[in-house]
Structure 1
Amino acid sequence: MKVDDNYMKKKILFLVIILTFIILLGNSTYSQKNQLSEEEKMDDFKHVYNVIKTGYPYLNVNKRINNTDWLENKDEYIKRIKSTENDEEFLEEMSSILSELNNKHTEVIDNKKRYELFKKSYSNNDWYDFLNDEKVVDRYNSINPKIKAPKDIFEKKELILEDVIKGKVGYMYLPSMSSKHGPIDNDLKAIEAYINTLEKHKALIIDIRGNSGGSDRYWQGIVSKLIKNDVKINGYRIYRNNNEIVKKYTSVRNIKLEPVENLPTNIKKNAPEEIMKDFSGFENTSYTIKSKSDLKFKGNIYLLVDKKIYSSSEAFAMFCKETKFATLVGETTGGDGGCIDPVLFNLKNSGLIVRMASCMYLNKNGVCDEEFKTIPDFKVRDCDRTKNFEDDNCIKKVLELENIKN
């Protein structure tokens, strides 16, 4: 009887193993059947290539500053796409290829968390009709999460408002152009209360090192509390509006464009030479920051900057440099400030979403910010932010300029 029991147990175990193998094989076969074909992958890549070719604003800038002729690399990119063996490799290769444009606003949305973020951000307007498409939803549900990094890497850092030297030098640390705790107005109220304590201070340091952007409303709200008179800023956004995706984007946002030929003569003279050949229209981005306070602080303002500054924090750096609102200390910034949101478009076969810089920003003199960035008034080696004010080279530089001993 025992022999029969053992025999039956072995037989059942064998059948379980066989059944498991069949199921796994079936799943694998099903998975392989649902992978993109080479033709589908190539079709998606060619779509991205053509959108970049006709709509992306910084192809020539990339050539000049990074020595990368992205369009000329087409054959190499095709080989790389063809060598991918599954959807995951295709996604990684597409991300790698777009990274060679060297622009943080241009990328493949490569994970569900970021997709959900964009879907939520654009849920209140009708700019995009594909964010809830079945293929798009299925794609982002199917992407395997990458290895999880420690949570603190992605946690927003705290706004800091405290004196470097009590009663003499104030300090604001702005880790992002957005609030960690709810609406932007929460931060602005706290910042305004701190500004009201600075009446007898000799200087104020605004530290945006490591700040990669957020909302222009954040820094403009701070500026409005630190100016006695209204300040007007002038610049230009230039578009390749002959591209259908860019054209649809400017149309749905009601952006009124003038022909690029109508740019002022001095702007044409200083702008990148390709704008007259490759771009079609522009908008004047003049705006005024209105004073909203009876300012008691009369000291100097310093802005601490580094290469990580980008997007709306870059716009703040540009504003400070152009208007002399603050003296810049640190290293050359990251660029691409002054533009509107990047444009999104979807890939019909993979369901992936691509994000692309939508325009080029030129300052009041016609200089392209993405190409030349913002150069500080005082360059500082080893300008990293430190835990202690005493060890911080940028803060040391400010105290030196103010002739204050720590």
Structure 2
Amino acid sequence: MLMAINLNFQVLDASLLLKIISERMDIFLRKKLPILIVTLVFSIIILLSTHIFLNTRLNLYWTKELTEKQKIEDFEYMYNILKDNYAHFYEVKKMYGYDWLEYKEQFKEKIKKTKNNLEFYYALNDILLKLHDGHTHVLSPGYYKYLFGPLGFKPYEDMFRESESSYKMWEKIFKNTYRQGELEDYYSLKKRRENVVTDVIEPGKIAYLKIYSFLIDYHKDGEEYKKERNMIYDFLRNIKDYPYLVIDISDNEGGNREYWLNAIVAPLRNKLKEVKNLSVEKTYLIRGGEYIVNLLENYIPDLKNNTIDKLPMYDLLPAGVKENFMYYATTDIVKDFEKFSKYVEPVDFNGKIFLIVSRTTYSTASIFAEFCKETGFATVIGERTRKGDGGWLMPGLMRLPNSGLIVRFDGEMIINQDGTSYFETGTVPDIEIKMIPKNPFEKDEELKQKIRQLIKSLESEEKGIK
């Protein structure tokens, strides 16, 4: 009789199954079947119960395929929030001649053609990629865990918790399709094994420090970061009497502001003695969409009083910016410098510092370049930092209702003092030099020789030698 029961453990309710088995058991007992059969039945019940329990646990994050309707709903939700809140449509259209908003129907067709959840995930990212904005993308499972783990990533904790089960599902999808890159935690994916490189370009004269990433391993209590910080400090102390220090962040795509404030600026703060007001203020424009305004008002209560027409540089702004933005905000990117520096002994370096940047330099590394320029901490040399870097105030995040995916985007636009957009310009070096190497495998060595020649040239100019 048990063999006749047709069970589908993925859809059959566990309590119903146990009820059926119990009823069959009563029948067996009433008929006073042999003890052997009763024992067998009990064994089957135990096995089935165990199977149901394990099956329920294993399928807690069952990879249910999204319907076409659900995919379109998620896309529409993302599109509508970006339409009113995303900060860089104006710049993207100006820089690339591409009006992202006009392609809504084509985007929807692309979504409709996706055959499964995996294709849907990549289609969303492809659509966002057209904005040429490294800060606007769908969070992978690995990036989700990096942000939601020890960082907490306020004020989005509730959003991250709400998406926890969804990201378990996405994690299972990527595991099943061997897409390990999406599962790897962001720190491991971006951080190279030898993150800090120290060298001497010219003994007793030119010291060289290269940092590939400013990421901090908060998920491991900053163990690697502390080692790197100590390594940097020891190096700076050893070369403190050198007349020149070169800091190379030409391959640095960002990370955490704490890194460069604590590990670089704090021990070298002798260079800031002549800075009367250690403040690096940046101005951000906000379009006025309800989603971002509600978020920012928790931190800037008077935001709606800061209408764009009150901005001191208002007359310098292009007409398109005036039409599309409603509010502005200012923040000091080094307002808490004392917190990072008070426990670090200065190394008393009094030489000149050069900071090398390139088109790869991005995000927090670009902020460091801006700090160096505005405070005079270092002379910035190289190429303009990467364009498409436009929001440092508060990362915008939204949760798509059906897939549970979280989308990151820029909700603010940084304005330079001349009214231009930082998204368009990046950081402009004090001294521009070509960074393309003759031999890619000898890139760093070629760069060191260029720096050496540049320093000799600057020394000659100071001495009046032509």
TM-score (norm 1): 0.81
Contact 2:213 2:255 in 1 (8 A): yes
Residue 209 of structure 1 is aligned with which of 247, 250, 265?
250
> How far apart are residue 78 of structure 1 and its match?
1.4
Residue 131 of structure 1 is aligned with which of 160, 165, 189?
160
Contact 1:204 1:300 in 2 (8 A): yes
Q: Which amino acid aligns with 2:415?
A: L
In the TM superposition, what are the counterparts of 1:109-120 in structure 2 within 5 Å? Answer: 109=139, 111-120=140-149
Who is 1:372 aligned against?
425
User: CA 1:200 to 1:131, structure 2 compared with 1: closer, same or farther past 3 Å?
Assistant: closer
What SS is found at the alignment partner of 1:333? coil
> How far apart are residue 400 of structure 1 and its match?
0.8
Task: Give the Cα separation in 2 of the matches to 1:162 and 1:32.
Answer: 52
Q: Which amino acid aligns with 1:116?
A: K
> How far apart are residue 139 of structure 1 and its match?
3.6
Residue 246 of structure 1 is aligned with which of 289, 292, 317?
292
In the TM superposition, what are the counterparts of 1:252-267 in structure 2 within 5 Å? Answer: 252-254=298-300, 256-257=302-303, 258-265=305-312, 267=313
Indicate yes or no: 2:332 matched with 1:302. Answer: no
Task: Give the Cα separation in 1 of the matches to 2:247 and 2:63.
Answer: 56
CA deviation profile, 1:271-302 (whole Å, cap 9, x unmatched)? 45433222222222235556876664333221
Who is 1:229 aligned against?
274
Who is 1:182 aligned against?
223
Contact 1:202 1:299 in 2 (8 A): yes
Contact 2:361 2:386 in 1 (8 A): yes
> How far apart are residue 317 of structure 1 and its match?
1.5
Percent identity of paired positions between Structure 1 and Structure 2: 26
Rg bigger for which structure? 2
In the TM superposition, what are the counterparts of 1:15-164 in structure 2 within 5 Å? Answer: 34-109=64-139, 111-121=140-150, 123=152, 125-133=154-162, 136-145=166-175, 146-148=178-180, 154-156=190-192, 157-164=194-201
User: CA 1:213 to 1:72, structure 2 compared with 1: closer, same or farther past 3 Å?
Assistant: same
Contact 1:272 1:368 in 2 (8 A): no
Task: Give the Cα separation in 1 of the matches to 2:396 and 2:213.
Answer: 22
User: CA 1:381 to 1:188, structure 2 compared with 1: closer, same or farther past 3 Å?
Assistant: closer
Contact 2:371 2:377 in 1 (8 A): yes
User: CA 1:173 to 1:233, structure 2 compared with 1: closer, same or farther past 3 Å?
Assistant: same
Contact 1:234 1:363 in 2 (8 A): no
Residue 328 of structure 1 is aligned with which of 364, 380, 396?
380
Contact 1:198 1:296 in 2 (8 A): no
Gaps of 5+ in 1: 1-18, 25-29
> How far apart are residue 388 of structure 1 and its match?
6.2
Q: Which moves more between the two structures, 306-315 or 131-140?
A: 131-140
> How far apart are residue 94 of structure 1 and its match?
0.7
Contact 1:313 1:337 in 2 (8 A): no
Indicate yes or no: 2:202 matched with 1:171. Answer: no
What SS is found at the alignment partner of 2:456? coil
User: CA 1:154 to 1:294, structure 2 compared with 1: closer, same or farther past 3 Å?
Assistant: closer
Contact 1:54 1:243 in 2 (8 A): yes
CA deviation profile, 1:196-229 (whole Å, cap 9, x unmatched)? 3334322110000211111222223322424223
User: CA 1:97 to 1:255, structure 2 compared with 1: closer, same or farther past 3 Å?
Assistant: farther
> How far apart are residue 256 of structure 1 and its match?
4.7
User: CA 1:86 to 1:374, structure 2 compared with 1: closer, same or farther past 3 Å?
Assistant: same
> How far apart are residue 337 of structure 1 and its match?
5.9
Task: Give the Cα separation in 2 of the matches to 1:247 and 1:385.
Answer: 49
User: CA 1:384 to 1:195, structure 2 compared with 1: closer, same or farther past 3 Å?
Assistant: farther
Which structure dedicates a bigger proportion of its chain to helix?
2
Contact 1:172 1:205 in 2 (8 A): yes
What SS is found at the alignment partner of 2:158? coil
Indicate yes or no: 2:232 matched with 1:191. Answer: yes
Who is 2:406 aligned against?
353
Q: Which amino acid aligns with 2:306?
A: P
> How far apart are residue 138 of structure 1 and its match?
4.5
> How far apart are residue 121 of structure 1 and its match?
4.8
Gaps of 5+ in 2: 1-5, 11-58, 460-466
CA deviation profile, 1:84-126 (whole Å, cap 9, x unmatched)? 12221111111100110110110011x3222211221553745
User: CA 1:112 to 1:33, structure 2 compared with 1: closer, same or farther past 3 Å?
Assistant: closer
Q: Which moves more between the two structures, 224-233 or 91-100?
A: 224-233
> How far apart are residue 54 of structure 1 and its match?
0.5
Contact 2:306 2:329 in 1 (8 A): no
> How many residues are treated as equivalent by the alignment?
377
> How far apart are residue 371 of structure 1 and its match?
0.9
What SS is found at the alignment partner of 2:200? coil
In the TM superposition, what are the counterparts of 1:268-287 in structure 2 within 5 Å? Answer: 268-286=314-332, 287=334
> How far apart are residue 173 of structure 1 and its match?
0.9
What SS is found at the alignment partner of 2:323? helix
Task: Give the Cα separation in 1 of the matches to 2:74 and 2:153.
Answer: 28
Task: Give the Cα separation in 2 of the matches to 1:384 and 1:51.
Answer: 45
What SS is found at the alignment partner of 1:130? helix
What is the Cα-based RMSD across aligned positions, in Å?
Answer: 3.5
Task: Give the Cα separation in 1 of the matches to 2:427 and 2:409.
Answer: 22
User: CA 1:272 to 1:208, structure 2 compared with 1: closer, same or farther past 3 Å?
Assistant: farther
